[in-house]
């Protein structure tokens, strides 16, 4: 039997989508199909061709095509959804909900028809609610509908810890739970550097400053860019999740998962630590939380629930 390459579709060929497509190809995780709306078909084809023409220089053998035709996505193993508008300074992610819910819904109808067996990863914001919309529209099992927030939020948190201590990012471990909003919950108690708990290395007031900076990390980039939001670290996060699935790595990383009783929440998508492998989300881990941590998670869950109410009306 011939061994086939993985096929990965990235919907939305904007900043995050295009960057993700290039990073996936550079890592040779599979052939990449980049999809955008028909009005942007030529620029999408152009971006894909430009990336492909980098392959002889960088020595990767992934194919990359641009299209607006979902027939080209048929049989994808993974579909990554980045379609939608990004926020500008002064906006919250939740301000995007009405526009992006319509976009995510229409994208998911196509995904359902053309890639019924795919594992779907959602990036579009407000991402917890958009993952809920995707789940409702796709009708796929919960293990195959996954939102991206925790890898990125944790990456920001770990960046700031490494900067604070002037140590390698490779030795920093942490977890950010909850919704992808300003009340997300970086878990200090579960954070360490080279196995050493960070609260023995960093003074409490500096830890608090790192936690606060992490919570508004997306907004910090939005304010600096002026006309859009982060895309390099978000793309890297999507690639890590894709790699964990396609290589069946069984990684334990925070992702947005559908909860049915875990942490006491029902019918909610929220960022929690999960085991990511070849079947998608293979397990959700319930960490023991202090009363203070649980109260912070409850607050974040409530914010997500309020946005989900808007999309499920
Ligand atoms: N969850 C997370 O951690 C993050 C989420 N985001 C979100 O990801 C989304 C995309 O961000 P960017 O790539 O920076 O925006 P962008 O504006 O650069 O790209 C979005 C692309 O989606 C396309 N699009 C719109 N409707 C479409 C449809 N129906 N079908 C296919 N493509 C469609 C647009 O034409 C555009 O090319 C935003 O909603 C942003 O807020 C961005 C970074 C991190
Ligand atoms: O902040 C935004 O709007 C984009 C995003 O979700 C992030 O970078 O965390």
What would the pLDDT profile of 37-94 be if each residue is shown by its tens digit? 999 999 999 999 999 999 999 999 999 999 999 999 999 999 999 999 999 999 999 9
| 238 Cα–ligand 1 center, Å | 13
**Residue whose CA lies nearest to ligand 2 atom number 8:** 218
Query: What is the mean pLDDT of the segment spanning 120-141?
Result: 98
CA 92 to centroid of ligand 2, rounded, Å = 9
The beta strands (E) that lie in 174-307 are given as 176-177, 185-186, 192-193, 196-197, 251-260, 266-277, 280-284
Average pLDDT over residues 183-199: 97
User: What span, in angstroms and rounded, lies between the C-alpha atoms of 61 and 55?
Assistant: 7
Q: How far is the CA of 273 from the centre of ligand 2 (A)?
A: 20
With a 6 Å cutoff on the Cβ, whether 131 touches ligand 1 is no
* ipTM exceeding cut-off 0.95 for this assembly: yes
114 is catalytic: no
Q: What is the Cα–Cα distance from 196 to 198, expressed in whole angstroms? A: 6
Residue with tokens 């900067």: 163
| CA of 93 relative to ligand 1 center, distance in Å | 12
CB 160 within 8 A of CB 213: yes
**Residue-averaged pLDDT of the chain:** 97
Q: Quick check: 254 and 154 in contact, CB under 8 A?
A: yes
Contacts of residue 261, Cβ cutoff 8 Å, sequence gap at least 6: none
Check residue 1 and give its pLDDT. Answer: 84
The ligand that comes nearest to the alpha carbon of residue 216 is 2
Q: For residue 165, what are the CA distances in angstroms to 48, 162, 171, 208, 263?
A: 40, 5, 11, 15, 32
Ligand 1 proximity of 127 Cβ (cutoff 6 Å): yes
How many angstroms separate the CA atoms of 307 and 216, rounded?
18
Banded pLDDT at 201 (limits 50, 70, 90): very high
Q: Is the dihedral of CA 24, 26, 27, 32 positive or negative?
A: positive
Predicted pLDDT at 313: 61
Res. 287 pLDDT band, cuts 50 70 90: very high
Upstream peptide bond of 126 is cis (omega within 30 degrees of 0):
yes
Nearest CA to 210 out of 184, 171, 231 is that of 184
User: What global pTM score does this model have?
Assistant: 0.98
Catalytic one among 7, 47, 180, 215? Answer: 180
Ligand 2 pocket, mutate which of 90, 100, 124, 125 (most atoms under 8 A from CB): 125
Probe ligand 1: pick from 93, 94, 123, 180, max atoms within 8 Å of CB?
A: 123
Q: At what angle do helices 127-138 and 291-311 cross, to 10 degrees?
A: 60
> Is any ligand 1 atom within 6 A of the Cβ of residue 19?
no
């Amino acid at each position: 039997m011939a061994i086939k390459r993985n096929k990965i579709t990235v919907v939305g060929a904007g900043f995050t989508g295009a960057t993700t497509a290039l990073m996936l190809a550079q890592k040779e995780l599979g052939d990449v199909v980049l999809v955008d709306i028909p009005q942007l078909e030529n620029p999408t084809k152009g971006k894909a061709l430009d990336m492909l023409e980098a392959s002889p220089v960088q020595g990767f053998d992934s194919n990359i095509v641009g299209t607006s035709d979902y027939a080209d996505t048929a049989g994808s193993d993974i579909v990554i959804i980045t379609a939608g508008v990004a926020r500008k300074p002064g906006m919250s992610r939740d301000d995007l909900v009405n526009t992006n819910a319509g976009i995510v819904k229409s994208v998911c109808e196509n995904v359902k028809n053309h890639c019924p067996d795919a594992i779907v990863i959602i990036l579009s914001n407000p991402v917890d609610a958009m993952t809920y919309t995707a789940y409702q529209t796709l009708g796929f099992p919960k293990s195959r509908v996954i939102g991206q927030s925790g890898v990125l939020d944790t990456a920001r948190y770990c960046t700031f810890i490494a900067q604070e201590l002037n140590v390698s990012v490779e030795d920093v471990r942490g977890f950010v739970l909850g919704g992808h909003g300003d009340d997300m919950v970086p878990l200090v108690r579960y954070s360490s550097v080279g196995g050493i708990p960070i609260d023995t290395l960093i003074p409490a007031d500096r830890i608090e400053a790192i936690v606060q900076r992490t919570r508004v990390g997306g907004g910090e980039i939005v304010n600096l860019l002026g006309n859009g939001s982060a895309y390099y670290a978000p793309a890297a996060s999507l690639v890590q999740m894709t790699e964990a699935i396609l290589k069946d790595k069984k990684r334990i990383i925070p992702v947005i998962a559908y909860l049915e009783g875990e942490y006491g929440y029902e019918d909610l998508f929220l960022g929690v630590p999960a085991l990511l492998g070849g079947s998608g989300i293979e397990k959700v881990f319930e960490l023991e939380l202090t009363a203070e941590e649980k109260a912070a998670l409850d607050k974040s869950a409530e914010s997500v629930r309020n946005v989900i109410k808007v999309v499920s009306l």
